[in-house]
Amino acid sequence: MSRFDYVIVGAGSAGCVLADRLSADGTAQVLLVEAGTGTPETRPEVQVPILFPRLFGGELDWNFTTVPQPGLADRSIPIPRGKAVGGSSVINAQLWTRGHRADYDAWAEAGLTGWSHADLQPYFERAEQRVSLAGLRHPLPVTPAFVDACARLGHAPAAEVQEGHLLARATHRDGLRHSSADAYLAPSRERPNLTVLADTFVRRVLFEGTRAVGIEIEGESGTETLRAEREVILSAGAVGSPHLLLLSGVGPAEELTRHGVPVVRDLSTVGRDLTDHLLVPLAFEAQGFRSPGANTTSEQITQYLQDRYGTLDSIISEALLFLRTREELEAPDIEVVHLVVPLGEHQRPTAHGLALGVILLRPRSRGAITLRSADPHDAPLIDPRYLTDEAGHDLETLVAGVREAQRVLRQPDFAQWVGKPLTDGALSEDLDDVTAYIRATGGSIHHLVSTCRMGTDERSVVDPTFAVRGLTGLRVVDASAMPSIVRAHTHAPVTMLAERAADVLLQQR
């Protein structure tokens, strides 16, 4: 049996940070295990920023879907998740947003000492020394028109506080995508004390009593076990980490027993508290501009890789607007993302157009990840329960958000670029129509969090040191550990969280 000090499961946004930081001083043997390929960067679709929608449903995507969602006209919603060294940062839309002060201050107020906005800024800064960020090199003319329309409606430019309009910042380096693997693993991969095992599926965590002692993997020669002398760290993402805990006997005893999984620890909230950002796209034909990336040919891709010139560096989401739907709120509850293609992010752009994506930033609806079966290869049941909060707060907020986006679309300077609606009802102001539109078109913007929620309360799965309650030698460090959803696209906050976790682990050695 091979032995390591730290065994990290999942080489995504969080796992890459941990592998780098925990192996940095050379004293610990670190293993990073990843189910997906170790060389995603060899594919043009990964390198060339505009091509990321082509990755959905492919080899680098776990390609999950939700169970039918009653709040969304019983549709099953696609849930792409990166499957490669680099994780979801290899297929994501490359936006980098830190989130709002109120997000983190609320964590500190809930008892997470040291997690306030001010406390966490150094971790973002540390992350930004590694992850390369770039502004838009070639914003389309329709993008300043969107910003002007927001300004005319009274939205200020976002400055210190993430409220108002801003141009996107992307995780790019020299015109190419810069994943967490590029940022954190490329510089450390040759360290003798860091082993990266790609193409290796982890089946479960192994325990001796209540101590995690290793993992079971599917190796080249069948099932093997790998031993962790200090810690097993789950960084398998908001779907993968709770799934692995459940498969390993950590979760609600009733659910585990029903599927024949021996109970190691009855922890009723594993997989619960699932929260995601819902996006409603308002899509239109282009009027007087061409969308980047529509029908890109292989010659254009080869040319771009040679000279890095042209609009293939677009990340589609060129500008963002964070707004409050009610004056009395302390922080924005809606984001409107300005997309220079006609569809929501999870679909492939094939025509010229634009879309405004209306995102519910602080949903109250809570969902769950549960076992479908005890077979690790059976995807878990993913049930975000979008728009199911009892008071109807989520739907009401989204309706207000859609109406504000419609006002932006009607501003003359922006409206001149906006052609025919591609979906019926996108511009209707009637409450029933807007509600039906939201239910018919809403989808995930892929920010699943809190399925192994951190907290100081009894219901939380991990404590403020990322340790799973009631067990030793087992941590969860990724989007699933997030105490609550933030008003941000989640890659930057997850990277920050992993930077902080690395400090905690190094201090506790």
Ligand X SMILES: Cc1cc2nc3c(=O)[nH]c(=O)nc-3n(C[C@H](O)[C@H](O)[C@H](O)COP(=O)(O)OP(=O)(O)OC[C@H]3O[C@@H](n4cnc5c(N)ncnc54)[C@H](O)[C@@H]3O)c2cc1C
What residues are labeled active site? 447
Given the complex with ligand X, which of 467 and 494 has the nearer CB atom?
A: 494
State in angstroms the smallest separation of the CB of 85 from ligand X.
7
Among positions 8, 9, 359, 398, the unique one binding ligand X when judged by CB under 6 A: 9
State in angstroms the smallest separation of the CB of 492 from ligand X.
6
Among positions 91, 246, 358, 505, the unique one binding ligand X when judged by CB under 6 A: 91
What is each CA distance from 122 to 6, 115, 178, 251, 501, in whole angstroms?
25, 11, 21, 34, 13
Among positions 47, 88, 162, 460, the unique one binding ligand X when judged by CB under 6 A: 88
State in angstroms the smallest separation of the CB of 427 from ligand X.
26
Given the complex with ligand X, which of 395 and 502 has the nearer CB atom?
A: 502
Judged by DSSP in three states, 404 sits in helix
What is each CA distance from 135 to 94, 96, 170, 318, 323, in whole angstroms?
11, 10, 6, 9, 22
For ligand X, what does the binding mask look like between residues 181 and 210, x meaning CB under 6 A? Answer: --------------------xx--------
Stretch that binds ligand X, among 6-14, 99-107, 123-131, 157-165 (CB under 6 A): 6-14
Among positions 40, 49, 78, 82, the unique one binding ligand X when judged by CB under 6 A: 82
Residue 453 in the binding site for ligand X (CB under 6 A): no
Residue 250 in the binding site for ligand X (CB under 6 A): no
Asked if 22 and 246 touch (Cβ cutoff 8 Å), the reply is no
State in angstroms the smallest separation of the CB of 447 from ligand X.
5
How many residues interact with ligand X (rule CB under 6 A)? 40
Token pair 């790019």: residue: 172
Given the complex with ligand X, which of 178 and 491 has the nearer CB atom?
A: 491
Name the strand (E) or helix (H) holding 197: strand 194-197
Among positions 21, 43, 81, 385, the unique one binding ligand X when judged by CB under 6 A: 81
Asked if 310 and 138 touch (Cβ cutoff 8 Å), the reply is yes
- d(C-alpha 91, C-alpha 98), whole Å: 19
Judged by DSSP in three states, 503 sits in helix
- d(C-alpha 86, C-alpha 171), whole Å: 13
Residue 438 in the binding site for ligand X (CB under 6 A): no
Footprint (CB under 6 A) of ligand X, residues 227-246: 235-238, 240, 244
**Nearest-CB residue for ligand X:** 12
Judged by DSSP in three states, 377 sits in coil
State in angstroms the smallest separation of the CB of 77 from ligand X.
12
Tokens (6 digits) for 277: 């950002």
Asked if 172 and 132 touch (Cβ cutoff 8 Å), the reply is yes
What is each CA distance from 429 to 122, 163, 279, 402, in whole angstroms?
44, 25, 18, 9
Residue 12 in the binding site for ligand X (CB under 6 A): yes
Tokens (6 digits) for 270: 């594993």
Among positions 21, 43, 75, 83, the unique one binding ligand X when judged by CB under 6 A: 83
Residue 41 in the binding site for ligand X (CB under 6 A): no
- d(C-alpha 479, C-alpha 485), whole Å: 9
Among positions 418, 492, 496, 505, the unique one binding ligand X when judged by CB under 6 A: 492
3-state helix, strand, coil in the chain (%, to 5): 30, 25, 45
Tokens (6 digits) for 141: 């003319």
Residue 289 in the binding site for ligand X (CB under 6 A): no
- d(C-alpha 313, C-alpha 297), whole Å: 15
Given the complex with ligand X, which of 85 and 434 has the nearer CB atom?
A: 85
Stretch that binds ligand X, among 70-78, 378-386, 458-466, 486-494 (CB under 6 A): 486-494
Query: Which positions touch ligand X (CB under 6 A)?
Result: 9-15, 33-36, 80-83, 87-89, 91-95, 201-202, 235-238, 240, 244, 446-447, 478-479, 489-492, 494
